[in-house]
Structure 1
Amino acid sequence: MSWNVAHRMTPESSEREIFSYSGAVSAGIVGATGESLRARLAMLNVESQRARKVFSSFVELAYNIIHHGEPEGARDVKIVRCGSIAVWEAGQRYHLRSQSLISAVNAPPIRQRLQALRDLTPEQIRFEFRLRLTNLQYAADDSPNGGAGLGLLTIARNAAEPIDFELSPVPSHDGRLQLIIHTVIQ
């Protein structure tokens, strides 16, 4: 993937890489890579609650690529979305970072949702999650592709600090933007 910025996805040398994937992202690939990540976390004896948070955040980041990503090739060709996801450990904290292309049309609501999550306290995130889970505040148009918005809330709920994100133009990709999401789990 020529748009991939490798230094943003590669952990520093003092950090321990746990898992990384770059390429096509589909439900089957999420299942296979998720199982590989789960096995790697078990092999490293990661405490079960932390491993569950890392795993569920990984899955949600991957599905974010599937639901909101743009194909790397021509827009009129319906191909599997492409992206990158990395997991690494640094000082008893687990970092997850995803990278994908998104449509410029989808960027404003995604940016708005991510910024709103950054502004919520952990208590507000848990409350919002429960409301969405019970469908009390469900609105089909909250995200560009509909849905209850539980994926980003799950990531925020698992995080030790606010989700970091970056949206930047990719000149060689016809107005599409690169979306990078970074989260930290303690």
Structure 2
Amino acid sequence: MENIDLFAMRERFNNQQIMLCFNGPISRSLIEEIGNALRNYLSAEHAHPSAAMDVFAVYIEMTQNISHYTRARQWNEQEAGATVVVSRNQGGRYVVSAGNLIEMPDGENLLQAVEGLAGMDKAELKAAYKEQLRRPRDEARPSGAGLGLIDIARKSSEPLQASLQPLAGGRGFFSLRAVI
């Protein structure tokens, strides 16, 4: 194993204004602990209360979606890993990004859903949210790309961005980025 240059990593994190970064297997308790750390960090930074709530809510939604997806597939710890980053952009807005392994067909569907939401304005997102709330839940259909994703899009100050990197074995790495 090669040595990790922690100073270079620290400098890169500082330059990119990364406040929180996690990479590895994610569990409910870990989501909660990282969430508490994020909440404390935002409080210490004197983030506006509504922005802090939105950042926290988006972090929770993204990480829980990853946890539910990988648990439903009964993937092992390595397959069930997540990469989560909370940072600031040059405009001072918070950026919440998360990524995980995903089956390619699921990733393509999710990418299409994100692209559809990214093309909507605030009024259209509100209407889509209300429509999704009224829609009966189909227990036979796996959840995903539904109410939570629309809620993330509604909390975002910019259109959601997503990417899907194809990998071997019919899987890919899906990444989602929300600016709060």
Residue 76 of structure 1 and its aligned partner are, at CA, apart by 7.0
CA distance in 2, matches of 1:165, 1:68: 17
Residue 84 of structure 1 and its aligned partner are, at CA, apart by 0.8
CA distance in 1, matches of 2:103, 2:37: 30
Trace 1:116-155 onto structure 2 (pairs within 5 A): 116-133=116-133, 136-140=134-138, 145-146=142-143, 149-155=146-152
Query: TM (normalized to structure 1)?
Result: 0.79
Aligned length: 168
Residue-by-residue CA offset, 1:110-159 (whole Å, 9 max, x unaligned): 122112111211111122223333xx1244279x6226822111110110
Query: TM (normalized to structure 2)?
Result: 0.81
Residue 15 of structure 1 and its aligned partner are, at CA, apart by 3.5
Q: Is the 8 A contact 2:110 2:145 kept in 1?
A: no
Change (3 A) 1:168 1:70: farther
Paired residue secondary structure (1:180): strand
* Correspondence 1:181 to 2:179: no
1:61 is matched with which residue? 62
Residue 170 of structure 1 and its aligned partner are, at CA, apart by 1.8
Residue-by-residue CA offset, 1:80-113 (whole Å, 9 max, x unaligned): 7211110011222111111110012312321221
Q: Is the 8 A contact 1:26 1:81 kept in 2?
A: no
Residue-by-residue CA offset, 1:46-88 (whole Å, 9 max, x unaligned): 01000001000011110121133489xxx87554721111001
Trace 1:12-51 onto structure 2 (pairs within 5 A): 13-51=14-52
CA distance in 1, matches of 2:28, 2:35: 10
Identity fraction in percent: 24
Larger helix percent: 2
Q: Is the 8 A contact 2:65 2:144 kept in 1?
A: no
Paired residue secondary structure (2:83): strand
The unaligned stretches of length 5 or more in structure 1 are 1-9
Paired amino acid for 2:29: G
Calculate the aligned-residue CA RMSD, in Å. Answer: 2.7
Change (3 A) 1:108 1:141: farther
Paired amino acid for 1:97: S
Paired residue secondary structure (2:25): strand
Residue 35 of structure 1 and its aligned partner are, at CA, apart by 0.9
1:92 is matched with which residue? 92
